[in-house]
Structure 1
Amino acid sequence: MNRLVSRRALLACALAGAPVLSLAQQPVFRITAIPDESPTELARKSAPLASYLSQRLGMKVEFTPVTDYAAAVEALVNKQVDLAWFGGFTFVQAHQRSGGKVLPLVQREEDEKFRSVFITTDEGIRSLADLKGKTMSFGSASSTSGHLMPRSFLLAAGLDPDRDLRRVAYSGAHDATVAAVASGRVDAGALNISVWEKLVADGKVDAKRVRVFFTTPAYYDYNWSVHADMPAARRAALLKAFLELSPGTPQGREILDLQRATRFIPTQVENYKGIESAARSAGLLK
């Protein structure tokens, strides 16, 4: 049906004497995501979503990878992309950097009560207090679930990572943190609970050797964000597309499974005030 409509529209333009855009000239809707997992995994997760959004928006949709978290922020702030997958902290940074122009659109239902896990292979580590004098890896310095929130819970437990740990490393991604712990390069690590559960389910980590010794309290985390300058009609169509993703259809089930989501729900700036406060308390946001 979409192809038929497109052909009719092109024919109408031709008959009216209007210029017809080539495929190369047609507008492209660009999406990106913080690189919290390997590039191959991000590409695998994005492909079905891009195809679905292309159908719903009636335009070509492309995934644009970025090198780091800061690049994802700058891409949306500068409108080089139209939609970005942010962690809670990355969203706070983008919201601040844009003067309030970057807005959260939807989050997974799971992101209302997200958690991080601390993992180790060291039998002597049973609590956060046992990390004193140990080596530890976070993910990216800008990661909510791989750095900011784990750091804030360590501080709340009376442990300053920079003062009380022997060494702090930054792996750059959640799966890289697991690899660092599993290989013995560090004594412990902190990461996103959904990535941990996926790696265990896929048999990519030996859960008998690498174990969770602390799970954080819940907090708000990830969202898909847009720029406030996006046309209202397009933003409404985008919101509707996400909200109508259903596990009851093969396409919806595939996308939701890859996104590790039960469903998507609307979200708002206020949901991330706790993340902002934690970032300021940890000295990671001015």
Structure 2
Amino acid sequence: MPNDTRLTRRTLLAAAALFTAAARGQDASRVFRITAIPDESPTELARKAAPLVKYLEHRLGTKVEYTPVTDYAAAVEAMANQQVDLAWFGGFTFVQAQQRSGGKVIPLVQREEDEKFRSVFITTVDGIKALADLKGKTFSFGSQSSTSGHLMPRSFLLAAGVDPDRDMKRVAYSGAHDATVAAVASGKVDAGALNISVWDKLVADKKVDPAKVRVFYTTPTYFDYNWTVHAGMPAAQRERVAKAFLDLNKSTPEGREILDLQRATRFVPTRAENYKGIEAAARNAGLLK
């Protein structure tokens, strides 16, 4: 009987070891997919993603792949249909994903900067000094689904008594923040709006001359970007993903590189309630049914 007991214990331990090894093998073989709204050029997005992918692979213990999408709507659909595990959304695309998924997406973290985000209005035209001066002018937003390149600039224009569709000569959508700057700089449009983070980066990298293309209005602050997962992700996995971002700091070369590329001081926890103001602005502007 004692020998049978020892045999049973050995069998159970061996089975447990095999099960654990198999589970680890499955985790290792599974691909964790991330995506991001295409608010900048594809090459810039890929450059920003590369070190983050490597870091997440180490922290999550599984292969991680960055999956580019063609437009903002594709990012929303990919998350709603669980084709990706993690998505970088703007505030408006998060609201859209929440609506599209029936409330089954969860914002995990945002940059500290996203708690008080802003948009800038830019121009090369001397006579444009305030939002009211945009009446009768040509203008470019970014993507139609962009928070900082369309929704919030439109919201502040309406609050200032300027209806872009009625009061402007022509309204265009460039598709991305850097494309908006290019359109204004080249004279294709009289003015445009984009997020302040991209603007500051373009100025710092000397890709735009602020003496020629100038900021004439900066919006009040609002909540914006976040990293979002589907509610179908197990809670333990959500916690691991969130902790990986929250642990990033500039005291290590890896952390500094990732945070600098993400234009972040650090990441902080966020929650769906932070984006109620974005949802209200979208409804008021007629961009969300």
Pairwise TM-score range, normalised by the shorter structure: over 0.9
Aligned equivalents of 2:18, 2:139: Cα separation in 1: 66
Gapped runs of 5+ residues in structure 1?
1-11
Q: Give 1:48's aligned residue.
A: 51
Which residue identity does 1:69 align to in structure 2?
A: Y
- Does 2:279 match 1:276? yes
Which residue identity does 2:273 align to in structure 1?
A: E
Give the SS at the match of 1:168: strand
1:165-204 to 2 correspondences below 5 Å: 165-204=168-207
Q: Give 1:34's aligned residue.
A: 37
Gapped runs of 5+ residues in structure 2?
1-13
Aligned equivalents of 1:102, 1:228: Cα separation in 2: 5
Q: Give 1:230's aligned residue.
A: 233
Regions of 4+ moved over 3 Å: 15-23
User: Normalising by the residue count of structure 2, what TM-score does the alignment of the two structures yield?
Assistant: 0.92
Q: Give 1:136's aligned residue.
A: 139
Aligned equivalents of 1:262, 1:269: Cα separation in 2: 21
Aligned equivalents of 2:278, 2:108: Cα separation in 1: 17
Q: Give 2:9's aligned residue.
A: none
Q: Give 1:154's aligned residue.
A: 157
Aligned equivalents of 1:232, 1:159: Cα separation in 2: 45
Paired residue for 1:212, among 203, 211, 215?
A: 215
More helix by share: 2
Tell me how far 1:233 sits from its aligned partner.
1.1
Superposition RMSD on alpha carbons, in Å?
1.9
Which digits, 9 at most, give the CA deviation of each residue in 1:134-173, with x for residues without a partner? Answer: 0000000000000000000000000000000000000000
Change (3 A) 1:271 1:20: closer
Give the SS at the match of 2:70: coil
* Pair member with larger Rg: 2
Which digits, 9 at most, give the CA deviation of each residue in 1:38-87, with x for residues without a partner? Answer: 00000000000010010000000000000000000000110000000000
Aligned equivalents of 2:232, 2:114: Cα separation in 1: 25
Aligned equivalents of 2:135, 2:23: Cα separation in 1: 66
Give the SS at the match of 1:124: coil
Which residue identity does 1:211 align to in structure 2?
A: R
Q: Give 1:71's aligned residue.
A: 74
Tell me how far 1:206 sits from its aligned partner.
1.1
User: Normalising by the residue count of structure 1, what TM-score does the alignment of the two structures yield?
Assistant: 0.93
Give the SS at the match of 2:29: coil
- Does 2:110 match 1:107? yes
Aligned equivalents of 1:274, 1:259: Cα separation in 2: 24
Q: Percent identity?
A: 78
Which residue identity does 1:87 align to in structure 2?
A: G
Aligned equivalents of 1:246, 1:280: Cα separation in 2: 37
Change (3 A) 1:137 1:27: same
Q: Give 2:11's aligned residue.
A: none
Aligned equivalents of 1:21, 1:194: Cα separation in 2: 40
Tell me how far 1:103 sits from its aligned partner.
1.0
Which digits, 9 at most, give the CA deviation of each residue in 1:207-245, with x for residues without a partner? Answer: 110000000000000000000010111111111111000
